Structure 1
Amino acid sequence: MDIFGIGPNGSVSDEEQWSLGLIGCWRLRRGMVDHIPSRREQRLIALLAFQGPMPRSTAARILWPEASKKQASGSLRISLCQVSRDLPGVLVAEFGRVGLAPDVRVDVQELRQQLSGTLEIEGAAAIACSHLLCHGEFLPGWYDDWVVEAQDEWRSVRTQALQQLAWRLFRLEDMYGAVEAARSAMEIDPLNEEAQRLAMQAQLAEGNYAEALRGYKDFSSRYREELGVAPSRGLADLLVTVPRSAERSHSLPVGARQAS
């Protein structure tokens, strides 16, 4: 997944610009040329790109948690030498600290910046943003402890951005876009009641009672199965506007109409 669709960053030319991708898969490119270092160097670069500069001892401990301090320090030194030789200009190591060079573009950082403008987009751009956020997993298939924590953090960032986008589109009366954004949030977090509420509100505003009822029924069943309790009463309260004729064609879970 490539989000480097914006202009060059800083004074570095396109041919010299390093671009690092961590969303979808790990990839490093300089200009139009891909570079594939060993997995050890990939892990080091990814860590520094996501967490920022840090003491060398901290990087060694995170990347080689089961090794002795001496072994971890040696492994880090080897990786730094390898990156310095094969990928000049990617890392900066000085004064006992190591970090990504400031000119390196990182998709996670740039997408975070773009999310600050998420509430200003609509139409086709909003739908594209929804799909990008929905499928933009951070380093899928990586299982380092720090990566798993970063994946959870990034998942939360994406979900929150999608909910904000859904609310904006709802207020703009773009109900289709609002439903798409809310559904994308639920693909990330299937038990996200706020996203389900947003989807139902948009569907009901359009008079799409069948979809709202079906969505409530599916969500309620999934919620009960996973958590052993029903969703909040507020979710069922939305169904008070559903005509009886629509309700009969999509039988509600027990208590849904009564709750409203």
Structure 2
Amino acid sequence: MAADPSMPTTGHRPGTDISLHLLGGFRLLHDGAPVVVPRGLQRVIALIALRPGATRSHLAGLLWPDAPEDRALSSLRTALWRLRQDPCCPFVTAGDTVRLEPAVRIDVDALVGTAARVRDGDDAYAAATLAAGRHDLLPGWYDDWVLADRERLRQLRLHMLEELAGHHLAAGRHGEALEAALEAMSAEPLRETPHRLVVRIHLAEGNAFEAVHAFYVYRDLLLRELRLEPSAAMAALLDETLAPIREATRERPGGPRRPPDARVAPGSG
């Protein structure tokens, strides 16, 4: 059957396993073996992978933002021609759009798919979820389009881990919930949400000491790094836990006295 001239495509050997890794650095593998790709073509392949179905004008403008449009489009045509001569990463064009062939497995797509499954409540692959997206997108690349997608994927992973921790907590799987929350905390130590989850998990397990300790560890970190206090919502998590301690402190003979309605500010003792 003749190929449709409106959809020219690069070819590749049937049965070849092709995977493109953009998290942690650019890697293209054919049947597990690395393929050497010049840096200029790496940028073209990576952008096509991250912007599937983008028009040629859009791709050219992102890849060569300082060049006139006609020169940028000419550079893109040259790059696509080079990719066709040695189809290391096969792509298909439809009209004015370009995308990688479906046969190419992309780790970014796997991360996005995992996040969608977690949002839908599917946490059957918790271990794989914890590891998914652990590395930044194309570290050392500073193109504007890379920076934007890097932050998008970082936020996607943080929310995915927090949602996973929340699902485990609701189901009473406290160990798994804590593991997911700590993974999110490791990814962004100053972000309050995973610290708040850790406090909630410890409280759900009845570990008051661990909950209070986790709160003050985060409070000290926030004060040291940003000179900020945790939010009122996070402090409120410990109100019920600390109430008996505060009451005992007020009633202790010779101990410090506070008005009955006074509250101990976080960190004031």
Q: TM-score w.r.t. structure 1 length?
A: 0.80
Q: How far apart in 2 are the matches of 1:167 and 1:128? A: 17
Matches within 5 A, 1:52-63: 52-63=52-63
Relative to its length, the structure with more helix (as a share) is: 1
Q: Is the 8 A contact 2:24 2:136 kept in 1?
A: yes
Deviation at 1:147, TM superposition (A): 0.4
Q: How far apart in 1 are the matches of 2:115 and 2:95? A: 34
Q: In structure 2, what is the equivalent of residue 18 of structure 1?
A: 18
Q: How far apart in 2 are the matches of 1:17 and 1:128? A: 21
Q: In structure 2, what is the equivalent of residue 255 of structure 1?
A: 265
Deviation at 1:189, TM superposition (A): 2.7
Matches within 5 A, 1:224-243: 224-239=223-238, 240-241=240-241
Q: Is the 8 A contact 1:175 1:202 kept in 2?
A: yes
- Structure 2's unaligned 5+ residue stretches are 1-11, 250-263
Deviation at 1:44, TM superposition (A): 0.8
3-state secondary structure, aligned to 1:201: helix
Q: Deviations over 1:202-224 (max 9, x none)?
A: 11222333432232112112333
Q: In structure 2, what is the equivalent of residue 9 of structure 1?
A: none
Q: In structure 1, what is the equivalent of residue 193 of structure 2?
A: 194
Deviates more, 1:33-42 or 1:187-196: 187-196
RMSD in angstroms over aligned alpha carbons?
2.8
Q: In structure 2, what is the equivalent of residue 154 of structure 1?
A: 153
Amino acid at match of 1:121: D
Deviation at 1:172, TM superposition (A): 1.9
Closer/same/farther in 2, CA of residues 195 and 89 from structure 1, 3 Å limit:
closer
- Structure 1's unaligned 5+ residue stretches are 1-11, 249-253
Q: Is the 8 A contact 1:18 1:103 kept in 2?
A: yes
Amino acid at match of 1:209: A
Q: Is the 8 A contact 2:22 2:137 kept in 1?
A: yes
Q: How far apart in 2 are the matches of 1:158 and 1:32? A: 26
Closer/same/farther in 2, CA of residues 191 and 66 from structure 1, 3 Å limit:
same
Higher Cα radius of gyration: 2
Matches within 5 A, 1:120-199: 120-121=122-123, 125-133=125-133, 135-199=134-198
Q: TM-score w.r.t. structure 2 length?
A: 0.78
Q: How far apart in 2 are the matches of 1:83 and 1:208? A: 58
Q: Is the 8 A contact 1:236 1:257 kept in 2?
A: no
Q: Is the 8 A contact 1:15 1:30 kept in 2?
A: no
3-state secondary structure, aligned to 1:120: coil
Between the two proteins, the alignment pairs up a number of residues equal to: 238
Q: Is the 8 A contact 1:127 1:177 kept in 2?
A: no
Q: In structure 2, what is the equivalent of residue 212 of structure 1?
A: 211
Q: Deviations over 1:77-136 (max 9, x none)?
A: 2211111111266112353332212322211112322333333336xx424422334x23
Q: Is the 8 A contact 1:166 1:179 kept in 2?
A: yes
Q: Is the 8 A contact 2:111 2:132 kept in 1?
A: no
Q: Is the 8 A contact 2:24 2:138 kept in 1?
A: yes
Q: How far apart in 2 are the matches of 1:100 and 1:22? A: 14
Deviates more, 1:158-167 or 1:174-183: 174-183
Amino acid at match of 2:200: Q
Q: Deviations over 1:12-62 (max 9, x none)?
A: 998323221112221112223321211111111111111212221211110
Amino acid at match of 1:79: A
Closer/same/farther in 2, CA of residues 89 and 202 from structure 1, 3 Å limit:
closer
3-state secondary structure, aligned to 2:23: coil
Deviation at 1:162, TM superposition (A): 0.6
Q: Is the 8 A contact 1:14 1:31 kept in 2?
A: no
Q: In structure 2, what is the equivalent of residue 96 of structure 1?
A: 96
Q: In structure 1, what is the equivalent of residue 6 of structure 2?
A: none
